[in-house]
Amino acid sequence: TPVLAEKFGGDGEFAVIALVVTTLLSMITLPVVSMLAN
């Protein structure tokens, strides 16, 4: 998480971007996979 990245000297901004991108991708792919499974 971004908080842990900052705490341990990592790139907090990159962690935020990665979190947002993966969340958005999951919001797109999960419904698509669900529709294909039916």
Number of domains, the chain: 1
Tokens 């996979």 belong to 33
Helices (H), the chain: 2-7, 12-37
Q: How far apart are CA 33 and CA 38, in angstroms?
A: 9
Note down the domain range covering 22. 2-37
At 4-34, the pLDDT tens digits run 999 999 999 999 999 999 999 999 999 999 9
pTM for the model: 0.73
CA distance 37 to 35: 5
Q: Please, which residues have CB within 8 angstroms of residue 17's CB and are 6 or more apart in sequence?
A: none
